[in-house]
Copies of this chain bind each other. A is one copy, B any other.
Amino acid sequence: MTTFNSKKVAIVGASGYSGEELVRLLLSHPHAELTAVTSRQYAGQSVAQVFSKFANHPRAKEVRFSEPKAELLAKQAQTVFLALPHGVAAEYAVPLLQFGCQVIDLSADFRLKSTAVYKEFYAHDHPAPELLAQAVYGLPEIHRAEIKKTTLIASPGCYPTSVLLPTIPLLKTGLVKPTGIIADSLSGVSGAGRKVEQEFLFVECNESVRPYGVPKHRHLSEIEQELSLAAGTEVTIQFTPHLIPINRGILTTLYLAPAEHFSDSARMNAFGEKLSACYQQAYCNEPFIRLLEGKALPDTKNVAGTNVIEIAWRLDPRTGRLIVISAEDNLLKGASGQAVQCMNIMCGFPETAGLV
């Protein structure tokens, strides 16, 4: 049995849903010791007091929320998760990296390579452009090798994860065209964070479904960056998010144009086999990707509470299109679970540690 040195870890901004999930995952992680959590709102209280649902965990009474101070955090932890709004995250990342910490940032601050695109989508100058070169987009199935070597992870957005993992292998192998891609996404309400706004009240969301952010949602920027990288050409996509009355989960339906026409069923079947082979080759050993075969289609209830993303695909002989569907838990594979997966890779722990 290999043994691992435990790492001391901290969470900055642990009062939202992603932060809460990080607390849960790290409290029970076999190789991480949660030494600090910060929140201006909850400073002074223990984890057990703030999140009563964790109160039975042996360490929940010991770990107390504190004010976020980079210098102190650097003494308390080797790896620091930032669950802060964009713009604010960079303020902590800069000193923490200087003090020698590994930083895993769940905000958008280090996801984009281009400061111009950042400004276009986030409406302010990039707060720390000097760090962009070293930041790695934390999608392990795509960037595992770079994740191993970096000290700054930009953990992907929830929607981007649901779009990128099903699409990248198809673009890399050229099985689908890089043009005309449509992603239609449905998200549970926790995706909005713990924002206390009228539109997220129970009565406003229950028995309701509605689109929002049409046609230019912020997540487009990182989706298009990563798809362009995979395709080797600039990719512009259509993306429509919708809010549905579930707590957790994103289901994304992708409409893609196959690179080949299939005028008869023999050609369609042949193309279908190429698709299967492509996905199998890309993901058959991935512990958190479930390729659905047979008649099964993705369902958020099958991934809620797990770090797994489900992927299925169908060719439509009537339209010649390829439809790919993915389902994930927006707070786990779409946020905190993936961030812990990145930590495992960075720290040399088994990739599934604390996630199954």
**Hey, which bits of chain A sit against chain B, CB under 8 A?**
17, 28, 52-53, 55-57, 182, 184, 186, 188-190, 194-198, 200-212, 214-216, 220, 236-238, 240, 242, 244-249, 251, 253, 255, 287-288, 290, 292, 296-306, 308, 310, 314-316, 318-319, 321, 323, 325, 327, 356
Q: What are the residues of chain B within 8 A of A296 when measuring CB–CB?
A: 52
Answer whether A319 and B237 are a contact pair too, CB < 8 Å, given A208-B300, A314-B214, A325-B211.
yes
A246 to B304, CA, bound (A): 15
Q: What are the residues of chain B within 8 A of A198 when measuring CB–CB?
A: 194, 196
Q: What are the residues of chain B within 8 A of A212 when measuring CB–CB?
A: 297
The residue from B202, B204, B209, B290 contacting A251, defined by CB atoms under 8 A apart: B209
CB pair A244 B186 closer than 8 Å: yes
Interface centre among A238, A240, A301 (most CB of B within 10 A): A301
Chain B nearest CB from A45 CB (Å) reads 11
Chain B nearest CB from A206 CB (Å) reads 5
Q: What are the residues of chain B within 8 A of A203 when measuring CB–CB?
A: 17, 188-190, 194, 200, 247
Answer whether A244 and B209 are a contact pair too, CB < 8 Å, given A53-B303, A238-B255, A302-B53.
yes
Q: What are the residues of chain B within 8 A of A202 when measuring CB–CB?
A: 189, 200-202, 204-206, 245, 247
CB pair B253 A242 closer than 8 Å: yes
Interface centre among A28, A253, A319 (most CB of B within 10 A): A319
A215 to B287, CA, bound (A): 29
CB pair A196 B197 closer than 8 Å: yes
Task: Kindly report how many copies of this chain are found in the complex they form together.
Answer: 4
A201 to B193, CA, bound (A): 10
CB pair B356 A304 closer than 8 Å: no
Answer whether A318 and B52 are a contact pair too, CB < 8 Å, given A28-B356, A214-B323, A253-B184.
no
Residue in B closest to A220 when the chains form the complex, CB atoms:
B318
Q: What are the residues of chain B within 8 A of A186 when measuring CB–CB?
A: 186, 209, 242, 244
CB pair B214 A297 closer than 8 Å: yes
Chain B nearest CB from A120 CB (Å) reads 11
The residue from B57, B210, B253 contacting A240, defined by CB atoms under 8 A apart: B253
The residue from B52, B245, B253, B297 contacting A206, defined by CB atoms under 8 A apart: B245
CB pair B208 A316 closer than 8 Å: no
Q: What are the residues of chain B within 8 A of A204 when measuring CB–CB?
A: 202, 301
Residue in B closest to A27 when the chains form the complex, CB atoms:
B356
13 A-B pairs within 8 Å (CB atoms) are namely: A182-B182, A184-B184, A186-B186, A196-B196, A201-B202, A202-B247, A207-B207, A207-B246, A210-B327, A215-B318, A236-B318, A240-B253, A245-B245
CB pair A182 B255 closer than 8 Å: yes
A248 to B247, CA, bound (A): 14
Residue in B closest to A300 when the chains form the complex, CB atoms:
B209
CB pair A215 B253 closer than 8 Å: no
A300 to B209, CA, bound (A): 6
Chain B nearest CB from A84 CB (Å) reads 19
A101 to B302, CA, bound (A): 33
CB pair B249 A207 closer than 8 Å: yes
Could you list 18 further interchain pairs (A-B, Cβ under 8 angstroms) beyond the known A202-B245, A207-B248, A220-B318?
A17-B203, A56-B287, A56-B290, A56-B306, A186-B186, A186-B242, A188-B203, A189-B202, A202-B205, A202-B206, A203-B247, A209-B249, A210-B297, A211-B253, A216-B318, A236-B319, A238-B319, A244-B245
